[in-house]
Structure formats: structure tokens, C-alpha cells
Amino acid sequence: MKRLFIVRHGKAEPHGSCPDFERDLAPRGIQDVQQLGAWCAPARRQGTPCCVSPANRTLQTGLLLLSAWQEPESAMTLEPDAYLASDRAWLRWVNEWDDQAESGWLVGHNPGLSELVDRLTDQTIWLPTSGMAEIELHVHSWAEVFAGTGRLRGLFTPKSHLLP
């Protein structure tokens, strides 16, 4: 059994303020991600994969989570092609993880992340900013993760706090 935590970046600056890739977290986004990091810290296992999109807002989200988890920046892997990646791309990266890890984390963007939740669980959700889905995967190896192998175990949004 594996556990996958899928996190959408925090609320960002408005569109048009700069190129989309360079948008930073807005003050509310920072606050929401700090709250998420503190809330989900008990579920985080040091040394488990944490794959992050390199866009400013996702990088900042990942760094805030690591700070809440008291882990170094080196605990995060920036995936160069994760900016606006499809659900299939995210799944390919998950499939490559070391099986020693019992859980893993993704930090990125919609629609790819919400579509990944749908693909794995057959449940359609739309992750809001600073939203996190916890998926229980009925597999022994990350390479076995594919459509329908998961069950949505928990959902965090800034407005609701359901324990992981």
C-alpha cells in the first residue's frame, strides 16, 4: 500500500501582473500554504519523494511546506517539465519513484493534478489553490500505479480541515 499526496500551489498574484510562470504567491496563498504545511506535517515522512513544478508559485509552495516540515530544500525535486504538466506526465514521474518510499508528494498545477486524482480514483474533484488530496494506492510498487488503483482518502482545502 502506498500513499500519494497531491498539492496544488497556493493562491498566486493576479494574471497579467507578469508572465504566468513567474507569478509569486499572494499573501493569502502564503498563509494558506503555511496552514496546510502545519496541518499535514504528521503525514510527512522525511526522505520521501516531493516532486515540484519549477514555476515560482509552486516552488514557493514547496519551500513553505518544507519549512513547516522542518526539512531542507534538498528534500524537494524540481521537475523541469512539470509546469502545467498533464496527469499522464505526473503519473510517469510517480512510476519512477523508489519503492522504499511508502508515500510521496506532488506540488503543481491544475488541470493536471485534478485530472490525476480523477485518473487514479475515478472521482472527479477540482483541487482549489492550497488544496491537497490524499490517495491510498492499492499497489506495492510505484511502477504499478495506474488508472483506478487509488482511493481518495482525504481532501484538504483552506476552508475545510479533514485529517490525513
pLDDT for the residue numbered 164: 47
Please tell me the number of Cα atoms within 13 Å of 152 on its side-chain side.
Answer: 20
Q: Edge-to-edge, what's the strand order for the sheet holding 150-157? A: 77-78, 50-52, 103-108, 2-8, 132-137, 150-157, 160-161
What is the rounded average pLDDT for all residues in the chain?
Answer: 95
Cα separation, 46 vs 71, in Å, equals: 7
8 A C-beta contact, residue 162 and residue 154: yes
Question: Cell triple for residue 99?
Answer: 519503492
pLDDT for the residue numbered 16: 87
3-state secondary structure of 43: helix
Encode pLDDT of 128-139 as tens digits. Answer: 999 999 999 999
pLDDT for the residue numbered 40: 93
pLDDT for the residue numbered 60: 98
| Counted domains in the chain | 1
Q: What is the DSSP string of 106-155?
A: EEE-TTHHHHHHHHHHS----PPTT-EEEEEE--SSGGG--TT-EEEEEE
Domain range holding 28?
2-161
What's 92's domain CATH number? 3.40.50.1240
Tally of helices (H runs) and strands (E runs) in the chain: 4, 7
pLDDT-based confidence at residue 32 (cuts at 50, 70, 90): very high
Encode pLDDT of 48-86 as tens digits. Answer: 999 999 999 999 999 999 999 999 999 999 999 999 999
